[in-house]
């Protein structure tokens, strides 16, 4: 891994004295002002949990198409299976491109908080995930989802320190998060992509934080640098790649950037499939997100904000 791709050492942060934590926080702050993309190492997520999910996903995506199509979401629904040809991420920015060369399976929160009665929340973020019946899938998915919720909470502590806030500043906003997990499969390409077609078109993520796990050894993820050039972000062994989303930019009053990124078909790997896991961390449905710098006029409520972004990109 190149030295210019920063790595956040979570174990060092957890064990660090206040000065160490402040130093690590300052590095994260600098990166989030420049690109918002960094790696997270020493994260404590079990290798077995990760390996189990990769195995289940391979089995899931390798099924005949009808078994997967049976899990297609209903209109306006966020969870289930989306086949190739259904989504073009660049359209979320008003760019008209051919569909992304990918398929995905998407799942939501594992439980609904007691007393949640908001009809929109129940119909959208807390809609049930249509589980595949491939052996072990639901257990492996749930274990990984739970590990991501925990990891996101620990990363948000570092982000609070990076922003000179008390370490637990974000805790009340993320104690009933409405995060989504998306497993992506970019199938092997038999022929060249159409003009303007990518595995995932250029986009920014919507939420607070994305925790990405590209399949080891795979290629294709690129970010737009502040200089305006595309830079490859290869997988980092033993680490997750994280990036901040649009909501975190809003939260930090524009100080942190939600960087444009895409997944290209790398010519040398065109015939190879690529899988990845993207966990989109999203604060509580009811969390009121007001810029830290002040400005109630720009405030949004987390759940309805996410739903509006989703509807705009999937209409
Ligand atoms: O597959 C990847 O590496 C990135 C996917 C991505 O950016 C997304 O789904 O938002
Ligand atoms: Fe993304």
- Decide: 225 and 231 in contact? Cβ < 8 Å: yes
Question: What's the gap in Å between 208 CA and the centre of ligand 1?
Answer: 15
What is this structure's pTM?
Answer: 0.96
Q: In the structure, what pLDDT confidence band is assigned to residue 315 with cuts at 50, 70 and 90?
A: low
Q: From atom 9 of ligand 1, which residue's Cα is the shortest distance away? A: 278
Statement: residue 278 has pLDDT above 80: yes
If one residue of 201, 273, 276 were mutated to test the ligand 1 pocket, choosing by the most ligand atoms within 8 A of its CB, it would be 276
What is the DSSP secondary structure assignment for residue 16, as one 8-state letter? -
The closest of 106, 61, 67 to 87, measured between CA atoms, is 106
Quote the CA–CA distance of 7 and 221 in Å, as a whole number. Answer: 17
Residue-averaged pLDDT of the chain: 93
Q: Say how many C-beta atoms besides its own lie within 10 A of residue 24's C-beta.
A: 19
Burial 69-97 (b: 16+ CB within 10 A, else e): eebebeeebbbbbbeeeebbbbbbeeeeb
Predicted confidence at residue 4, as pLDDT, reads 64
What's the 102 CA to ligand 2 centre distance in angstroms? 13
Tokens of 58: 């391979």
- Give pLDDT, residue 225: 93
Which ligand has the nearest atom to the CA of 199? 1
Q: Is the CB of 184 under 6 A from ligand 1?
A: yes
Q: Indicate the top mutation candidate among 278, 280, 314 to test ligand 1's pocket, ranked by most ligand atoms within 8 A of CB.
A: 278
Task: Name the closest ligand to CA 203.
Answer: 2
Residue spans of the domains in the chain: they are 7-313
Residue 177 CA to residue 283 CA, distance in Å, equals 5
pLDDT band at 279 (very low <50, low <70, confident <90, very high): very high
pLDDT greater than 70 at residue 49: yes
> What whole-number distance in Å separates Cα of residue 174 and Cα of residue 156?
9
**Is domain 7-313 annotated with CATH 2.60.120.330?**
yes
Q: Has residue 241 got a pLDDT over 50?
A: yes
What is the ipTM for the molecules in this complex? Answer: 0.98
Task: Say yes or no to pLDDT of 209 above 50.
Answer: yes
pLDDT of residue 192: 80
The share of the chain scoring above pLDDT 90, in percent, equals 80
**Quick check: CB of 278 below 6 Å from ligand 1?**
yes
């Amino acid at each position: 891994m190149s030295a210019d791709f920063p790595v956040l050492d979570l174990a060092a942060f957890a064990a660090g004295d206040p000065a160490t934590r402040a130093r690590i926080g300052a590095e994260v702050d600098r990166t989030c002002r420049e690109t918002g993309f960094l790696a997270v190492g020493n994260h404590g997520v079990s290798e077995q949990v990760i390996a189990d999910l990769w195995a289940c996903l391979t089995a899931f995506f390798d099924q005949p198409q009808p078994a997967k199509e049976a899990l297609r979401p209903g209109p306006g629904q966020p969870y289930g299976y989306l086949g190739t040809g259904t989504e073009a991420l660049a359209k979320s920015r008003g760019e008209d491109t051919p569909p992304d060369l990918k398929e995905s399976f998407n799942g939501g929160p594992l439980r609904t908080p007691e007393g949640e009665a908001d009809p929109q929340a129940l119909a959208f973020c807390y809609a049930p995930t249509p589980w595949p019946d491939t052996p072990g899938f639901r257990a492996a998915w749930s274990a990984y989802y739970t590990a991501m919720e925990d990891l996101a909470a620990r990363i948000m502590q570092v982000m609070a320190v990076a922003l000179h806030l008390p370490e637990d500043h974000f805790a009340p906003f993320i104690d009933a998060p409405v995060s989504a997990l998306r497993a992506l499969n970019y199938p092997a390409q038999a022929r060249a992509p159409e003009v303007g077609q990518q595995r995932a078109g250029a986009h920014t993520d919507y939420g607070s934080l994305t925790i990405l796990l590209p399949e080891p050894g795979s290629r294709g993820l690129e970010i737009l640098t502040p200089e305006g050039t595309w830079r490859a972000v290869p997988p980092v062994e033993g680490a997750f790649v994280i990036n901040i989303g649009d909501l975190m930019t809003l939260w930090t009053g524009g100080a942190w950037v939600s960087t444009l990124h895409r997944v290209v078909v790398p010519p040398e790997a065109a015939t190879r499939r690529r899988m990845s896991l993207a966990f989109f961390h999203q604060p509580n449905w009811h969390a009121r997100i007001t810029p830290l710098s002040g400005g109630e006029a720009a405030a949004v409520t987390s759940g309805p904000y996410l739903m509006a972004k989703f509807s705009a990109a999937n209409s």
